[in-house]
Amino acid sequence: MWASFELELLGEQGASPATLRTYRESARQFVAWLQAQGRRTEPALIERDDVQGFLGSLRDRGAKPATVRVRFSSLRRFFNWAEEEEELQRSPMHRMHGPKVDEPPPEVLSDDEITALLRACEGGAFEDRRDMALIRLMLDSGLRRFEAAGIAVEDVSLQERRIRIIGKGQRQEVAYFGAKTARDLDRYLRVRPLHWMVRNEEDVRKRGQGENAEAVHPLWLAQKGFLSPDGIHHAITRRGQLAGIQRRIWPHLLRHSFGDRIKAATGSDEVVMTLGRWRDAKAMRRYGASAAQQRAREAHRQASPGDRF
């Protein structure tokens, strides 16, 4: 039945590869725990105590509260689906409340770290130009890595400084970028035709399904093919190491930093949500919270009541 649930998710337009991996890993861990405890794994035989015991084991092993909440949400979604499919009379998680999580603000890059990351991409080699354009665009537009990986050459307008992206749920959306990002995208696009895939006319793939399918030229190219979401992760992590940054750098950290700086510059949740393509206001607000004290300190410096007299 777990496999049937995955087929259900695959049939939904809103299921991204990351979402599928999350549900698959949650199911794998839960089943493994049940087997280790000598309990039955058939969904109809799973009881409330089984779920509570699994979640408790995660906490005992030091899992982060956010991770426990993800596992809870994944299992609840599965059991709700099984109940709707009449595979269960009632979900074992019926009226079960999820763990409360007070999540800290997400990490963001400092100005010095961003400068070092960009300097690590300086150079005229193909990968240097590609990674410079990629990092600037992800920072400037707040792209998720699967959004970045899905961009085609046809989606980019350097004149209008905007890109069409395929967002969550296969929604077509628009993201914007600045003049420096346009410059670095242009520098990359000028060397892209030198790649062996372009020279051999192999840089084309279909996007979409059925009548809506279109032939496009994926923007980002790697040594052996198209740059995948995992390839983006590797490229950005590698540039962080080359920059000498003393902590792990990963793609979503650029999105965190985007949200934080847009919020600092505009003070508007609406603008951050629109530019970052967030649908959940609660999730969006976390991205603007990391430098709240710095923003508050600057606001007080400018509006100090004591300094007015």
The answer as to whether 79 is a domain residue is yes
Do 121 and 223 lie in one domain? The reply is yes
φ/ψ region of 176 (left if φ > 0, alpha if ψ in -120 to 50, else beta) reads beta
CA dihedral (168, 170, 174, 180) in degrees, to 10, reads 70
Do 139 and 80 lie in one domain? The reply is no
Of 192, 218, 248, the residue at which a domain comes to its end is: 248
Return the pLDDT at 192: 98
Residue matched to tokens 């890595």? 145
Do 118 and 222 lie in one domain? The reply is yes
Do 116 and 239 lie in one domain? The reply is yes
- Of residues 148, 300, 283, the one with CA closest to residue 229: 148
CB atoms within 10 A of CB 192: 19
Q: Are 45 and 82 in contact (CB under 8 A)?
A: no
Do 130 and 36 lie in one domain? The reply is no
The answer as to whether 226 is a domain residue is yes
Return the pLDDT at 270: 84
Return the pLDDT at 129: 98
Return the pLDDT at 212: 77
Do 79 and 117 lie in one domain? The reply is no
Do 115 and 53 lie in one domain? The reply is no
Return the pLDDT at 123: 94
Do 132 and 75 lie in one domain? The reply is no
Task: Let me know how long the chain is.
Answer: 309
Do 154 and 230 lie in one domain? The reply is yes
The answer as to whether 266 is a domain residue is no
Do 119 and 162 lie in one domain? The reply is yes
Q: Are 251 and 232 in contact (CB under 8 A)?
A: yes
Say if residue 302 is exposed, middle or buried (CB neighbours under 10 Å; 0-12, 13-18, 19+): exposed
User: Strands, E, within the chain: which ranges?
Assistant: 156-157, 162-166, 172-176, 205-207, 214-216
Do 134 and 230 lie in one domain? The reply is yes
CB within 8 Å of 131: residues ≥ 6 apart: 121, 235, 236, 239
Do 207 and 244 lie in one domain? The reply is yes
Q: d(Cα 25, Cα 129) in Å, to the nearest integer?
A: 36
The answer as to whether 48 is a domain residue is yes
The parent domain of residue 28 ranges over 2-84
Return the pLDDT at 18: 76
Return the pLDDT at 213: 83
Return the pLDDT at 65: 83
Return the pLDDT at 62: 87
The answer as to whether 56 is a domain residue is yes
Return the pLDDT at 210: 79
The answer as to whether 277 is a domain residue is no
> Max Cα separation, the chain?
74
The answer as to whether 186 is a domain residue is yes
Domain count, the chain: 2
pLDDT along the chain (309 residues), means of 10: 72 66 90 93 90 92 87 92 88 85 77 96 97 97 94 97 80 91 97 97 88 90 96 97 95 92 83 84 63 58 57
